Structures are given as C-alpha cells and as structure tokens.
Amino acid sequence: MPLILYSQYIAYPDGSPASEIEIPVLLLGGNQLIPLFSNKAGTTPVANPVTTDVDGLISAYAAPGALTAELAGTFFHFPVDSTETDPAWPGTFIHTQVSAATVWTVAHHFGVEPSVTVLVDDDAVEAAVSHTDDETLTITFGASTTGVAYLRR
C-alpha cells in the first residue's frame, strides 16, 4: 500500500508558529502514535512525536487515514499534500450494498483490519465479518440482504 504525504502548519492560539517543538501525530479519534516516514516507500522512519520546522510545519508520509495533532487545546487535522497523486482514504469508509447478497465483499484499502458496523433497514445487525487481507473483507449473512457497512480504522 502506498504511503501518503501529509502536511500541516502548527500554530499557538495567538497565531504564532509552533517552531521547532515536538508534536504527537495520531489517527483521528485514537490515542496511539502512528508510524511516520520521510519517504513514500516507508523505509526511513521519522520520530513521533515529530519536531516542527522553524515555520511550524510538519510533513511526513503515513498510511492513508485521518491524522490529527493537538497543541494547547487546539486540534490540527492533517490534509493530504496537494502534490499527492495516490488516493487517501478517510478514517471511516462507508460501503453501501444496493443489490441483495448473502456475501458482501468490501475493498476498503485501509492497510489494517478495521472495525465493522453493519446496518440493515437502519438497525445494527450481527453478521460474520472475515478479513481477507488488510485491504479487503467479506460480510456474510444467513439470507440475501442490502444495507450499509461502516468501517473504521
């Protein structure tokens, strides 16, 4: 799976750049530091917490997802760098199954096994979830059905 280039300027509440300070980078909604890299191939790790540059900029490669950092009570969400050409998936992937089937195959491209919530007729239901690999899963039901699956990293 290709890594994605993320960049974000970090500033103090008064607007001044957070120059040369360490900032932890996390998945949105998570509390674990994520692996960061200085190159797209992911062969050169970057320390996390990461140190901002003199202008308060953090740039690093990471697996696709919604990244965030916090400084003095302000949360900063990392957008994908405008030069990035690979697709970046958000922290939640929504699969809508419009044709009834007993097995739904979902290609989510998260690179990890996500948690899955399945809704049929707007009600949460139990279904057998099998992670084929880190980018695909299947959801199996006792009868053909349609609905929506919410996948979260």
Q: What is the pLDDT of residue 151?
A: 81
Distance in angstroms (rounded) separating the CA atoms of residues 40 and 2: 7
Q: Is the pTM higher than 0.95?
A: no
What Rg do the C-alpha atoms of the chain give, in angstroms?
18
Q: Nearest 5 degrees, angle CA 46-CA 83-CA 135? A: 65
Question: Is residue 92 a contact partner of residue 151, using CB atoms and an 8 Å limit?
Answer: yes
- Ramachandran class of 40: left when φ > 0, alpha when ψ lies in -120 to 50, beta otherwise: alpha
Closest CA to 92 of 75, 106, 102: 106
Render pLDDT for 118-144 as a digit per residue (tens, 0 to 9): 999 988 899 999 999 888 999 999 999
Report residue 26: phi and psi, to 5°.
-130, 165
pLDDT band at 104 (very low <50, low <70, confident <90, very high): very high
Instruction: For residue 118, give Cα distances in angstroms to 98, 124, 126, 148.
Output: 14, 6, 7, 6
pLDDT, position 105: 95
44-97: pLDDT as tens digits: 999 999 999 999 999 898 887 778 888 888 888 876 666 666 655 555 677 899
pLDDT tops 80 at residue 152: no
Say whether 65 sits in a helix, a strand or coil.
coil
Distance CA 15, CA 26 (A): 22
| Three-class SS state of 56 | coil
Give me the pLDDT at residue 13, please. Answer: 85
